[in-house]
Structure 1
Amino acid sequence: MNVLSMPTAPVKGFSKLSKLEKIDFIADNYFSGSESVKTQFKRFWLNDENLQKTIDEFSENTLTNFIFPMGVVPNVLINGKLFCVPMVIEESSVVAASAKAANFWLTRGGFKAEVLGVKKVGQVHFIWNGETSKLENFFALKKAELLKAVEPLAANMVKRGGGIIDLRLVDRTKDEAGYYQLLGEFDTRDAMGANFINSILEKLGSTWKEMLLDAEDFTDTEKEMQVVMAILSNYTPECIVRSSVECDIADLNEPGLEMDAHEFAEKFSRAIRISKIDVTRATTHNKGIFNGIDAVVIATGNDFRAVEACGHAYAARDGQYRGLSNVEIKDGKFRFSLDIPMAIGAVGGLTSLHPMSKLSLDMLGRPGAEELMKVVATIGLAQNFGAVRSLVTSGIQKGHMKMHLMNILNHLEASEEEREKAKVHFANEVISFQSVREFIASLRNYV
């Protein structure tokens, strides 16, 4: 495939081109007009035109669909209820590790999960110059009126049991001259609630500005207020869920552990402590947790970027970035847990529009947001247990590379016969790209 260098002149009006015209432009300017490139883009279009139109409208300048596998983890026992959890991820070892952990804990009481809080926040960030105490007194006087102004926007959410929990004035002038916030706290029930929160905040900002302009005992300078922005925060440390497992240390024993249960528990515990001490380990530790979390968040049509950004910020909440999971060994018991912010929704957005997201939520029994939080956090904990267990026993590569073997064989375009022989050969051999390539080459040379 002949790939060209970048065009020297920018394209104008690209977004107004049809999808076919966009593909032609890409092919002509980056691939020498290659018909095979055009065919490849169109190869992944859906036959259902209406469904394809829906998918196209999820994004902008859409050319085609990018396919990811959707797998499941069965036998996930949470609070006595059995789930089959969908995961969208391209790394097979993640699904395998989660499934193995789920089966391990299935016979040891399963996972326990609870939502510790559902509060979400957003701010009107504004600049005002004057005496702070005067602004605070004015806010106290006008708070009820401010909340009254957004009642029409909040009415439907209030009917569902949610709405605005509180509104506060926050003084940040020590950090930035004249900088204040109207900080809103929200309960958005089963919705993630971004649009709801942002609409409320923008109305609060404009109403607050009008109130200051109309304030009779304020000087002209004090009546001037600049709204910098009004936006929800993806940092939600009070919208948090806990998932945990617990058993007698002796019950950690199983075939293939290669050490006694007490040694395993101590090695496992030390690995978790290291993730609290060393940022380089903490980063990889938490990445493993989000391997599981992101896969379920994507499958259910939620925003994995928001969930992950919040989780990483939460991991650094005391000033040092640390591992998110916790372990306790006490009185002969092993307890492993994860507390993590989880602002997701079970209604609205892609959860209602994407057919596979709807199917995923149906598979989970149409959970509300709180139950979905429990499921997602539990898969994060299961994945972390599986990863750390491998690290402190056989090592991560043994299982990971066995799962990766199929990817290597696909890359080498191995036949079905070659695949089967490779599976047998590498059952107890070290797997690397080089070793697999040499094995396949030896088969082909022999023939």
Structure 2
Amino acid sequence: MPTAISGFSKLSKSEKIEWLLDTYFTDKDAARTLVKKYWNSDEKLQKLHEEFIENTITNYYLPLGVAPNFLINDTLYAIPMAIEESSVVAAASKAAKFWLNRGGFKAEVISTEKIGQVHFTYDGEFSALKSFFETIKPKLISSTSDITKNMERRGGGIVNIELKDKSDDLDHYYQLHATFETLDAMGANFINSCLEQFADTLKSEAQRSLEGQLDVIMSILSNYVPNCLVRAEVSCPVSDLKSKDIRNPELFAKKFKQAVDIAQVEPYRAVTHNKGAMNGIDAVVLATGNDFRAVEAGVHAYAAKDGKYSSLTQCSVEDDTFKFWIEIPLALGTVGGLTSLHPLVKFSLEMLGKPSAKELMEIVAVAGLAQNFGAVKSLTTTGIQEGHMKMHLMNILNQLEATPKEKEHVIEHFKTNVVTHGAVVEIIENLRS
């Protein structure tokens, strides 16, 4: 039975590893070898990775793939994608190629406003609090001048601060609701620093001139950014949808729209539908050193903004024109954080032409739309499993430790047969017997 450890973070890397091996592993030598195998041979690079987080013992690798041929606003991109799931990069690439000669993708940033809040309680009258806020609002903003001066020099900074009465939701609960423009930075540290200064100023001013007790609970940015929006779309005449696997474009357009409409009204379908879009979004967000957990949380909240969880994408077939689009909130950065530290993040951003934050928002939205298009197209034509299982075939073969010759034989067989785990096992067993 393992026992708790005190001061784990103060141990050296080797001491951490040895404690883990002694406490949790039976084959210590194998575990130690595996951990060391994933260390980078470049000591400087390894140290850089270790300093990203605390208690690092090794590196956890994900494949970095590329989906080429994305025509976005008449510029051709090869999009980097960091993801482990079979078929995602292939599906994105296929969607990019499909739309390449049909006008490509159009994208635009609608707004870039980000939000932070100071949450506090006040046991006095709201009218007194409102009057107090209006008096000190200029001081709240001026108190952050040392924090905001560089951002303001570049054209960003604090957009506005509002007082919000939330006491109907929770007794004595109020907010300072602040909006920000952070330009090419995602801006989390900037926003949180401003908010903490707002809180300090609010408390000190309240003690001097406000009757009643005001207590700050917390100050933190929000990852829900409904006013930091980007839209991406594709469209073409219905007849232009005809391709190798779309023999009847009118029927395809009808079924595709019905599939999207189902995701609009059925949350069980919407979750999986949106997961398909997030396959593309997360992969690019991760490859470019941004926070995919924050993006996920904000996007899914946006999907439920009307009181019911629904599809992120929409489709119309009108006047013989097929149109498919996505509108999502994305708070992304191309400066600061890992963007200037992680070598592969810098590599990915250079691959994209060193985009601004707005350009990256457009690229990420397009990746999500392409991924969703590929998934819905498969579902309404060949079915999702045919393509997915063929991509998953290599994972099954690696699990079975197939030799190169065995892989060659099995891959050839499944060019014309349905892939299942059992069928792969059976062929391998027959080859080996």
Q: Same fold (TM over 0.5)?
A: yes
Matched, 1:252 2:246: no
Q: Which runs of 5+ in 2 are unaligned?
A: none
Specify the SS of the correspondent of 2:110: strand
Specify the SS of the correspondent of 2:419: coil
Residue deviations 1:122-145 (CA, integer Å, cap 9, x gap): 000000111111111111122112
> For the Cα contact (< 8 Å) 2:106–2:233, is it kept in 1?
yes
Q: 1:252 to 1:59 in 2, by over 3 A?
A: same
For residue 253 of structure 2, what is the aligned residue in structure 1? 265
After TM superposition, give the deviation of residue 256 of structure 1 in Å. Answer: 2.1
For residue 105 of structure 1, what is the aligned residue in structure 2? 99
Specify the SS of the correspondent of 1:118: coil
For residue 376 of structure 1, what is the aligned residue in structure 2? 364
For residue 266 of structure 2, what is the aligned residue in structure 1? 278
Residue deviations 1:11-55 (CA, integer Å, cap 9, x gap): 111111111111111111111361111111011000111111110
Correspondence for 2:186 among 161, 180, 192 = 192
After TM superposition, give the deviation of residue 443 of structure 1 in Å. Answer: 1.1
Matched, 1:413 2:407: no
For residue 334 of structure 2, what is the aligned residue in structure 1? 346
- Aligned pairs for 1:224-243 (under 5 A) are 224-243=213-232
Aligned equivalents of 2:130, 2:20: Cα separation in 1: 56
Matched, 1:400 2:394: no
Instruction: Return 270-279 or 136-145, whichever deviates more.
Output: 136-145
Amino acid of the structure 2 residue aligned with 1:13: G
Specify the SS of the correspondent of 2:389: helix
Residue deviations 1:59-115 (CA, integer Å, cap 9, x gap): 111110011110001110000000010000112300000000000000001000000
Specify the SS of the correspondent of 1:226: strand
Amino acid of the structure 2 residue aligned with 1:31: F
For residue 201 of structure 1, what is the aligned residue in structure 2? 195
Residue deviations 1:200-225 (CA, integer Å, cap 9, x gap): 0000011011111111xx43xx2x21
Aligned equivalents of 1:246, 1:64: Cα separation in 2: 46
Amino acid of the structure 1 residue aligned with 2:178: G
Specify the SS of the correspondent of 1:343: coil
Correspondence for 2:53 among 56, 59, 69 = 59
For residue 3 of structure 1, what is the aligned residue in structure 2? none
For residue 177 of structure 1, what is the aligned residue in structure 2? 171
Aligned equivalents of 1:289, 1:255: Cα separation in 2: 24
Instruction: Return 48-57 or 24-33, whichever deviates more.
Output: 24-33
After TM superposition, give the deviation of residue 389 of structure 1 in Å. Answer: 0.1
Q: 1:265 to 1:33 in 2, by over 3 A?
A: closer
Aligned equivalents of 1:295, 1:117: Cα separation in 2: 23
> For the Cα contact (< 8 Å) 1:172–1:180, is it kept in 2?
yes
Count matched residues.
433
Aligned equivalents of 1:40, 1:130: Cα separation in 2: 61
Amino acid of the structure 1 residue aligned with 2:250: H
Aligned equivalents of 2:302, 2:362: Cα separation in 1: 18
Aligned equivalents of 1:12, 1:152: Cα separation in 2: 39
Q: Which runs of 5+ in 1 are unaligned?
A: 1-5
For residue 74 of structure 1, what is the aligned residue in structure 2? 68
Matched, 1:318 2:306: yes
- TM-score (ref. length: structure 1): 0.96
Specify the SS of the correspondent of 1:165: strand
Specify the SS of the correspondent of 2:87: helix
Instruction: Give the RMSD, CA atoms, in angstroms.
Output: 0.9
Residue deviations 1:235-262 (CA, integer Å, cap 9, x gap): 00000100000100000000122x4100
For residue 164 of structure 1, what is the aligned residue in structure 2? 158
Specify the SS of the correspondent of 1:421: helix
Aligned equivalents of 2:418, 2:19: Cα separation in 1: 46
> For the Cα contact (< 8 Å) 2:224–2:301, is it kept in 1?
yes
> For the Cα contact (< 8 Å) 2:245–2:381, is it kept in 1?
no
After TM superposition, give the deviation of residue 403 of structure 1 in Å. Answer: 0.4
- TM-score (ref. length: structure 2): 0.99
After TM superposition, give the deviation of residue 188 of structure 1 in Å. Answer: 0.4
Specify the SS of the correspondent of 1:92: coil
Specify the SS of the correspondent of 1:195: helix
For residue 44 of structure 1, what is the aligned residue in structure 2? 38
Matched, 1:144 2:134: no
Aligned equivalents of 1:191, 1:160: Cα separation in 2: 11
> Identity of paired residues, percent?
54
Specify the SS of the correspondent of 2:417: coil
> For the Cα contact (< 8 Å) 1:110–1:245, is it kept in 2?
yes
Matched, 1:360 2:330: no
For residue 25 of structure 1, what is the aligned residue in structure 2? 19
- Aligned pairs for 1:101-140 (under 5 A) are 101-140=95-134
Correspondence for 1:422 among 410, 414, 417 = 410
